[in-house]
Amino acid sequence: MSKEPMDTFDYAPALESTAVVDIKAQYNLFINGKFVAPKSGKYFATINPATEELLSKVAFADLADVNAAVSAARGAFTKTWSKMPAAERGKYLFRIARILQERAREFAVLETLDNGKPIRETRDTDIPLAAAHFFYHAGWADKLEYAGVGNSPKPHGVAAQIIPWNFPLLMLAWKVAPALATGNTVVLKPAETTPLTALLFAEVCQQAGLPAGVVNILTGDGSTGAHLVNHPGVDKVAFTGSTDVGKAIARAVAPTKKSLTLELGGKGANIIFEDAAMDETVEGIVNGIFFNQGHVCCAGSRLLVQENVLDEVVEKLKRRMQLIRLGNPLDKNTDIGAINSSAQLARITEISATGDAEGAQRWTINCDLPNKGFWYPPTIFTGVTQAHRIAQEEIFGPVLSVLSFRTPAEAIEKANNTPYGLSAGVWSDKGARILWTAQRLKAGVIWANSFNKFDPTSPFGGFKESGWGREGGRHGISAYVKGNM
Ligand code: ADP
């Protein structure tokens, strides 16, 4: 039998060059405008999760380094940054934004190497959005009295900022841009598996001529983060990461005067009504759970489908998933890259296995996984009930739990049956139904006929165990000022 042309069709590799990045063998800490060796003399490895190859060694900051960084940030706050006219502060942010745009390719490749996410995403989402956050907040710097936070908003002082590994540069931008725009200085700790773009950002701060000590970057692990949170010289703590660590930070900060924002886990419901435009909806489901390997706190990881269209949705979804391309993150055709670490792969594997054990049906796309590196194929579970662990716990990987509902009221009840409250999606042809649903969902961000759309003007944050405070928009600014409302 002769083969149909479609059977033989395949993509030619389209590898992004790594020549644009210059990764040093070793990186020091960025304190007071300079790269300095850690007091401990200790360094740790950061690897490429797609190949397990060593990329570099980065400094391990302990308490002595945290003390030095906080004191540099305090000095810069009192002597320079809080005294500077707001329009001047804004100019630095504009400069940083422009440099991020100019060096976008370099940042995109470096992020893909260190994180494992596809170049298409770092190139089209992470880095442009990071620059957009600096542009947006640069514009606010001299207009803060119009931000709805009182007519003379004051910065807190020194902000300790701790970020995760899923969107390394973007999470840095979400934290650093509003802090600087409002006149705070910063000590930032990137995640242990993805420190390299934060260290390249330190070079950008130098390039922009940012006054020494305004931004300090400490690489290290959870103990470094804990020293930073507990430091008496810190006025504001901003954390994005797991709910468990968020709770520990909330406990540590509770007896102090420190201001705190937390952006934690999620188990977002993506609700599909019978009248939704099915092909677009299936695209939205795929984007909702498989974007960034599902390493997304606001992922649409619980699919709630109206029962009479369940079979149709699942069938279309499987057909669409079979087209997902998993592989080398540097290939511009790749949709799904590597899982960020062996620890995260173990976590995804463990929680997903409970889906099998508890009686849900697993379906996985038919694809080869590379021999080296950390990989998990796009997976869906059908026949999931609310009691299943895979319906309750955040998997933080490319695994979707599919549930069904009969009435809109049942959809709301199931969607809200979670300790989290970060995101949700609603798919329907009727605006009134979307609004009715959105008003009843307990989630900080609700997308209508779309998913995983981000914009610096739009506040992002959660309810319940997803944290408190908002990032982005005017609401995000209020987290970095002491208003006089
Ligand atoms: P994950 O489990 O997904 O890696 P974590 O919440 O452990 O997420 O990590 C997010 C960030 O928090 C990382 O930068 C990590 O080093 C930091 N971190 C971990 N434990 C603590 C802690 N006890 N105090 C402060 N920061 C911490």
pLDDT for 1 beyond 80: no
Residue 152: its pLDDT value, please? 86
Report the candidate in 284, 309, 285, 292 with the shortest Cα–Cα distance to residue 380: 285
C-alpha separations of 232 from 62, 135, 212, 266, 479 in Å: 15, 32, 21, 31, 19
Atom 11 (ligand 1): residue with closest C-alpha?
164
Q: Could you tell me the domains of the chain?
A: 26-264+466-482 (3.40.605.10), 269-455 (3.40.309.10)
Residue 66 Cβ inside 6 Å of ligand 1? The answer reads no
Residue 4: its pLDDT value, please? 55
Over residues 438-474, the pLDDT tens digits come to 999 999 999 999 999 999 999 999 999 999 999 999 9
- Best residue among 162, 193, 223 to mutate for probing ligand 1, ranked by most atoms within 8 Å of CB: 162
What's the CA-to-centroid distance between 240 and ligand 1, angstroms?
8
Over residues 321-375, the pLDDT tens digits come to 999 999 999 999 999 999 999 999 999 999 999 999 999 999 999 999 999 999 9
With a pLDDT cut of 70, the percent of the chain lying above it is: 98
- Best residue among 115, 245, 295, 340 to mutate for probing ligand 1, ranked by most atoms within 8 Å of CB: 245
Summary mean pLDDT of the chain: 96
What's the CA-to-centroid distance between 436 and ligand 1, angstroms?
37
Residue 168 Cβ inside 6 Å of ligand 1? The answer reads no
Residue 297 Cβ inside 6 Å of ligand 1? The answer reads no
Res. 11 pLDDT band, cuts 50 70 90: confident
What's the CA-to-centroid distance between 191 and ligand 1, angstroms?
7
Q: What is the mean pLDDT of residues 417-431?
A: 97
- Ligand 1, atom nearest to 252 Cα: 24
Residue 189 Cβ inside 6 Å of ligand 1? The answer reads yes
| Whole-number Å distance between alpha carbons of 241 and 192 | 12
Atom 7 (ligand 1): residue with closest C-alpha?
242
| Whole-number Å distance between alpha carbons of 475 and 280 | 31
Report the candidate in 314, 316, 311 with the shortest Cα–Cα distance to residue 279: 316
Residue 6: its pLDDT value, please? 58
pLDDT for 237 beyond 50: yes
Residue 9: its pLDDT value, please? 74
Residue 394 Cβ inside 6 Å of ligand 1? The answer reads no
Report the candidate in 74, 64, 75, 342 with the shortest Cα–Cα distance to residue 223: 64
Query: Is residue 306 exposed (0-12), middle (13-18) or buried (19+ Cβ within 10 Å)?
Result: buried
Q: What is the mean pLDDT of residues 190-200?
A: 98
Residue 263 Cβ inside 6 Å of ligand 1? The answer reads no
The pTM assigned to this predicted structure is: 0.97
pLDDT for 383 beyond 80: yes
Res. 485 pLDDT band, cuts 50 70 90: very low
Q: What is the mean pLDDT of residues 402-423?
A: 98
Atom 24 (ligand 1): residue with closest C-alpha?
226
Phi and psi of 70, rounded to 5°?
-65, -40
Residue 162 Cβ inside 6 Å of ligand 1? The answer reads yes
Q: Please name the helix (run of DSSP H) or strand (run of DSSP E) that holds residue 398, with its range, or none.
A: none
With a pLDDT cut of 90, the percent of the chain lying above it is: 96
Phi and psi of 282, rounded to 5°?
-65, -40
What's the CA-to-centroid distance between 164 and ligand 1, angstroms?
7
Atom 20 (ligand 1): residue with closest C-alpha?
222
- Rounded to 10 deg, the angle between the 104-115 and 86-102 helix axes is 70
Active site amino acids: 263, 297
Residue 191 Cβ inside 6 Å of ligand 1? The answer reads yes
What's the CA-to-centroid distance between 242 and ligand 1, angstroms?
7
Res. 7 pLDDT band, cuts 50 70 90: low
Atom 19 (ligand 1): residue with closest C-alpha?
222
Residue 338: its pLDDT value, please? 98
Indicate the range of 9-18, 34-43, 224-233, 292-301 predicted with least confidence: 9-18
Report the candidate in 303, 474, 285, 291 with the shortest Cα–Cα distance to residue 390: 303
Residue 483: its pLDDT value, please? 64
Atom 27 (ligand 1): residue with closest C-alpha?
222
Q: Residue 50 carries which side chain, given as an amino acid letter?
A: A
31: number of CA atoms within 13 Å, CB side? 20
Residue 222 Cβ inside 6 Å of ligand 1? The answer reads yes
What's the CA-to-centroid distance between 456 and ligand 1, angstroms?
24
Joined tokens for residue 475: 């609401």
Residue predicted with more confidence, 384 or 8: 384
pLDDT for 229 beyond 90: yes
| Whole-number Å distance between alpha carbons of 216 and 138 | 19
On whether the CB atoms of residues 268 and 298 are closer than 8 A, the answer is yes
Residue 476 Cβ inside 6 Å of ligand 1? The answer reads no
The angle formed by the CA atoms of residues 446, 435 and 316, to the nearest 5 degrees, is 65
Residue 61 Cβ inside 6 Å of ligand 1? The answer reads no
Residue 2: its pLDDT value, please? 47
Q: Residue 84 carries which side chain, given as an amino acid letter?
A: M
Residue 250 Cβ inside 6 Å of ligand 1? The answer reads no
Over residues 118-133, the pLDDT tens digits come to 999 999 999 999 999 9
pLDDT for 29 beyond 90: yes
What's the CA-to-centroid distance between 316 and ligand 1, angstroms?
38
Q: What is the mean pLDDT of residues 19-31?
A: 98
What's the CA-to-centroid distance between 246 and ligand 1, angstroms?
8
Residue predicted with more confidence, 264 or 7: 264
CB atoms within 10 A of CB 35: 16
| Whole-number Å distance between alpha carbons of 286 and 288 | 5
Residue 326: its pLDDT value, please? 97
What's the CA-to-centroid distance between 196 and ligand 1, angstroms?
17
